[in-house]
């Protein structure tokens, strides 16, 4: 017991709690009425969830998000963090959770941060690169978290840049950061939170990275470095 405590105490993320939200359950497209049901999203209603995108060859965003999230979870746990996931499977016969549940995940357990993992699906010619989305300052929803969430966004961007990923060339500002007020997943959080669009799945060269185990490991490395930077 004593040895366990000593070992835990020296791990860099011991005592921290991280919520990972792997966007879109794989089976969402099989449950349209459940997925289209309106839920609270922070002062307005939005559909429970969407189906997500895919590569042109059909590799689903849900599977990409799941596999990166599991790899990230394992890295954070090995650093001593407690990790909670908003879904525990990637299956065609499951749907959800809805954005309101994803948004509130972490509030009751007083987690240190929440990161939502996504891939984007832009058809704009040449669109590629990652971007990190932080919540806008919307009273009363995010006034308490938008500042630390921006810090978290900057740390995650630094981590992904360090893993060799370029910032998105199709998002206004061009700095790899975006601020949005329309996402229930961010609006309903009481803990620092960001959503990452790790790459454009409709871009052939980026899809090649996102569909490879090595590419996904590199995304997980970059995210882990960024979260560790934020958690200090």
Give whichever of 40 and 121 is closer to Zn ion, judged by the CB atom.
121
Q: Of 219 and 231, which CB lies nearer to Zn ion in the complex structure?
A: 219
Cα angle 124, 129, 132; round to 5: 110
CB of 138 to Zn ion, least distance (A): 21
Interface with Zn ion (CB under 5 A) = 23, 52, 118
Q: How far is the CB of 85 from Zn ion (least distance, A)?
A: 16
> Which of the following is catalytic: 61, 67, 197, 206?
197
Comparing CB distances to Zn ion, the nearer of 52 and 192 is 52
Q: Which two tokens stand for residue 32?
A: 């349209």
**Cβ closer to Zn ion: 111 or 183?**
183
DSSP secondary structure code for residue 121 in this structure: -
Residue nearest to Zn ion (CB): 118
Instruction: Give dist(CA 44, CA 77) in Å, integer.
Output: 36
Q: What angle do CA 162, 114, 207 make, to 5 degrees?
A: 50
Instruction: State the pairing for strand pair 113-120/193-200.
Output: parallel
CA separation, residue 218 to residues 160, 199, 204 (Å): 9, 12, 18
Burial of 10 (0-12, 13-18, 19+ CB in 10 A): exposed
197 has catalytic annotation: yes
Q: How far is the CB of 115 from Zn ion (least distance, A)?
A: 13
Tell me the catalytic residues: 197
């Amino acid at each position: 017991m004593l040895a366990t405590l000593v070992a835990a105490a020296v791990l860099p993320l011991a005592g921290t709690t991280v919520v990972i939200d792997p966007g879109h359950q794989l089976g969402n497209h099989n449950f349209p009425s459940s997925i289209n049901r309106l839920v609270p999203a922070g002062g307005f209603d939005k559909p429970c969830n969407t189906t997500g995108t895919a590569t042109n060859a059909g590799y689903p965003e849900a599977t990409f998000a799941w596999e990166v999230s599991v790899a990230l979870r394992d890295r954070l746990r090995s650093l001593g963090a407690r990790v909670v996931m908003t879904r525990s499977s990637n299956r065609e016969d499951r749907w959800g959770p809805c954005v309101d549940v994803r948004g509130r995940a972490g509030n009751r357990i007083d987690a240190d941060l929440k990161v939502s993992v996504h891939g984007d699906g832009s058809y704009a010619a040449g669109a590629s690169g990652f971007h990190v989305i932080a919540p806008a300052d919307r009273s009363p929803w995010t006034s308490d978290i938008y500042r630390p969430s921006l810090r978290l966004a900057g740390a995650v961007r630094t981590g992904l840049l360090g893993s060799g990923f370029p910032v998105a060339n199709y998002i206004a500002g061009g700095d790899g950061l975006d601020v949005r007020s329309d996402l229930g997943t961010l609006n309903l959080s009481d803990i620092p939170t960001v959503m990452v669009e790790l790459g454009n799945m409709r871009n052939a060269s980026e899809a090649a990275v996102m569909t490879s185990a090595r590419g996904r490991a590199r995304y997980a490395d970059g995210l882990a470095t960024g979260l560790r930077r934020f958690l200090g």
